Structure 1
Amino acid sequence: MDYEVFDLGDVNLQSGGTLPNAFLAYKTYGKLNEKKDNVIVYPTAFGDQHVQNEWLIGNGMALDPQKYFIIVPNLLGNGLSSSPSNTPPPFDRAHFPQVTIYDNVQFQQRLVTEKFGIQKIALVVGWSMGGIQSFQWGVSYPDMVERIAPFCGGAKTWPQTYVVLDGMKAALMATIGFDVNKRNNLTPTDMRAVGRVYAGWGVSQAFYRKELYRELGYDSLEGFVAGVWEKSFMKMDPHNVLAMLWTGQFADISANPTYNGDFVKALKGIKARTCIMSGSTDLFCTADENKYEAKHIPHASFHLIESNWGHFAGRGINEADNKCIDDNLKQLLALSPNE
């Protein structure tokens, strides 16, 4: 096991339910300094685990473990932190309670403060659903977080993205005739169709038109769709996916008692120096939506990742995209929080 576990105990969730014996799986990189002010929190995205974040961590990079103490907490529902697949009855599989982004960040804050005694975070960074967690950190703990850097991720799930996630859910539920009472009959094989649905959203039209999948070793469109999208989704537990889809569909930094759905007010409440990065061809989390968010955050800058890789410009696969993200993070970390 290459990660650690932080026990949360019985937790009350925003949805009104309780999750007993909850826990966060996390991994750390680097060492915490004496002042405890060299901290970077880097939450995982939908379906990812901490290993998928490691491409952005390395010596000489912005997230340098020789300089920073980097904490990667795993999203609830991802199979490592509390999830439908690892929670005992009566909260297992289809009975797992609904968990929000707000819940995830609350629990991560407990990890940071209770386990490590950290009171100040230099940066919260994340891709996709990790990006919305970085926004949520800035909203929930404005005096604790000095910088946030979401890339290819919004501050809420905008309507079109909600519909995409709903299509993924529908593809899975269709295998059981949309009978919620049969959800425990779902198997990883049922995830094949979900991968096919997401194949049209993960990368861009230009990616397919230019046949960039050949750079990944696939000599045909069908080979790429089957070898990447089907295969990656069939590795996931369907109950975990349903849990994460719910978390994703209802993600909104203003959906909490502090802001009561006032999205613009929540954006204006972020005190952190903010660097928002958008993929120029991202169909899933669009640059237009990120520009709107950046406009309402007091200390925000907006940067475009010029890329044909769509949403996966933030996935750590394409070298030019990786360098763009790393360079922007270095510039952000070089600025004082109040500069």
Structure 2
Amino acid sequence: MDPRTMSQSERESHEIYDLGDFKLICGITLRKAKLAYKAWGTINADKSNAIVYPTWYSGRHWENDWLIGPGMALDPAKYFIMVINMFGNGLSSSPSNTPPPFDRARFPQIAVQDNVRAQHQLVTEKFGITSLECVVGWSMGAGQSFQWAVSYPDMMKTILPFCGSARTSQHNKVFLEGVKAALTADSKFQGGWYSPEDPPVTGLRAAARVYAGWGFTQAFYWHEKWREMGYTSLEDFLVGFWEGFFLARDPNNLLTMLSTWTNGNVGNTPGFDGSVEKALASIKAKAIVMPAEVDLYFPVADEEYEVSHMKNAELRVIPGVWGHFAGGGVWDEDTKFIDDALKELLSNEVTHISDMKKLSIKN
């Protein structure tokens, strides 16, 4: 199977797993909770070829396809790859698809641990899988990768989190507050009780403008790299790429995932007393942690610190001026860089990894 040769409807097709009544960390029970997922490949006889690849902030499963295909590390001919949609993304249980009384503004707070526990239930109960070759993910998918390794340390052999972190930094939270303020300032937002047929478009467009200054870097804009994406002016890029991206999303869904992101911290896992350092030290999986060289959300220094507390991890920096979207599958050179690292990790060719905790920024 190759996503690149499929129609859009085939790519968007997915399965639904019924979680039942799922108690969340916040204390609310999400009744008739559902996970949407797309599975690539076939489970082998001993169920030893499974990989989990969670989605990211506002991402849907087909937007992970760029890292899956014949000849790539995530080759469906070799692995059984489960791309699992986060709570709040509009496909799994979300404000936009949950019936009253927990619909829209009443949808409960979701923690990263809730997402991972639900994914674990899918993997173990639906498929009977007890071990994973890898958990891999971009951005919030990276945060889920870290959480998998902390919550279920004996279950996976490897993790490859890219352009993400195990704990949301204070600076990152400042950015997220800007996105939240833009979404909720629109008079049509009405405390989250807007009509789906008449969403707060002004707030979505404003949130897109906030995001635009963070998703790509100063150098990206200085060199007008948006021209390589087919845009003809800065305004064309801001409207065509960023506003177009946000207008396809539901504001309450975005705010649910934003809350999950804001409160991300593997140290909040029971047994670690809020300490990200203790939680990271508990990880047994072999890891390559891949920040982007100039990511404004998840800077290299943050991930260097996290890797320094992991027993079996290497920091490998994605070079270039693309910033956070180096992990978005937009540029072939970044895709190859990530895919090569994933191939190396899955082939067990990474040796003496504990001695390789160093920056490898390519100038």
TM-score normalized with structure 1 length? 0.97
Counterpart of 1:174 (choices 175, 179, 185) is 185
Question: What is the CA–CA distance in structure 2 between the aligned matches of 1:32 and 1:215, rounded to whole Å?
Answer: 39
Question: What is the CA–CA distance in structure 2 between the aligned matches of 1:336 and 1:152, rounded to whole Å?
Answer: 22
Classify 1:148/1:293 alpha carbon distance in 2 versus 1 (closer, same or farther; 3 Å).
Answer: same
Classify 1:193/1:107 alpha carbon distance in 2 versus 1 (closer, same or farther; 3 Å).
Answer: same
Establish whether residue 223 from structure 1 lines up as the match of residue 232 from structure 2.
no
- CA displacement at 1:185 relative to structure 2: 2.2
What is the SS of the residue equivalent to 1:106? helix
What is the SS of the residue equivalent to 2:32? strand
Question: What is the CA–CA distance in structure 1 between the aligned matches of 2:316 and 2:258, rounded to whole Å?
Answer: 27
Residue type matched to 2:221 in 1? Y
Match of 1:299 in 2: 312
Residue type matched to 1:251 in 2? G
4+ long deviations beyond 6 Å: 336-339
Match of 1:151 in 2: 162
Establish whether residue 240 from structure 1 lines up as the match of residue 249 from structure 2.
no
Residue type matched to 1:295 in 2? S
1:230-272 superposed Cα distances (whole Å, 9 cap, x missing partner): 1100110011011111111001111122212011000000000
Counterpart of 1:133 (choices 115, 132, 144) is 144
Match of 2:322 in 1: 309
Residue 279 of structure 1 contacts residue 304 of structure 1 at CA under 8 Å; is this kept in 2? yes
What is the SS of the residue equivalent to 1:32? coil
Match of 2:275 in 1: 262
Question: What is the CA–CA distance in structure 2 between the aligned matches of 1:191 and 1:37, rounded to whole Å?
Answer: 43
Classify 1:252/1:6 alpha carbon distance in 2 versus 1 (closer, same or farther; 3 Å).
Answer: same
What is the SS of the residue equivalent to 1:28? strand
Counterpart of 1:18 (choices 29, 45, 55) is 29
Gaps of 5+ in 2: 1-11, 353-363
Residue type matched to 2:77 in 1? Q
Match of 2:357 in 1: none
Identity of aligned residues (%): 51
Establish whether residue 90 from structure 1 lines up as the match of residue 101 from structure 2.
yes
Match of 1:52 in 2: 63
Residue 74 of structure 1 contacts residue 81 of structure 1 at CA under 8 Å; is this kept in 2? yes
Residue type matched to 2:100 in 1? P
Q: Superposition RMSD on alpha carbons, in Å? A: 1.5
Question: What is the CA–CA distance in structure 1 between the aligned matches of 2:158 and 2:65, rounded to whole Å?
Answer: 20
- CA displacement at 1:144 relative to structure 2: 0.4
What is the SS of the residue equivalent to 1:185? coil
Note the 1:64-75 alignment, pairs <5 A: 64-75=75-86
Residue type matched to 1:311 in 2? H
1:200-222 superposed Cα distances (whole Å, 9 cap, x missing partner): 00011111000010011111011
- CA displacement at 1:338 relative to structure 2: 9.3
Question: What is the CA–CA distance in structure 1 between the aligned matches of 2:99 and 2:58, rounded to whole Å?
Answer: 21
Residue type matched to 1:256 in 2? T
- CA displacement at 1:188 relative to structure 2: 4.8
Counterpart of 1:103 (choices 95, 102, 114) is 114
With 168-177 and 117-126 compared, the bigger mean Cα shift is at 168-177
Counterpart of 2:193 (choices 159, 171, 184) is 184
With 280-289 and 256-265 compared, the bigger mean Cα shift is at 256-265
Residue 154 of structure 1 contacts residue 290 of structure 1 at CA under 8 Å; is this kept in 2? yes
Match of 2:285 in 1: 272
Question: What is the CA–CA distance in structure 2 between the aligned matches of 1:5 and 1:173, rounded to whole Å?
Answer: 31
Question: What is the CA–CA distance in structure 1 between the aligned matches of 2:70 and 2:308, rounded to whole Å?
Answer: 33
Residue 344 of structure 2 contacts residue 350 of structure 2 at CA under 8 Å; is this kept in 1? no
1:256-302 superposed Cα distances (whole Å, 9 cap, x missing partner): 22212011000000000011001101111111101101111100001
Residue 168 of structure 2 contacts residue 265 of structure 2 at CA under 8 Å; is this kept in 1? yes
Kindly tell me the number of residue pairs found equivalent between the two proteins.
337
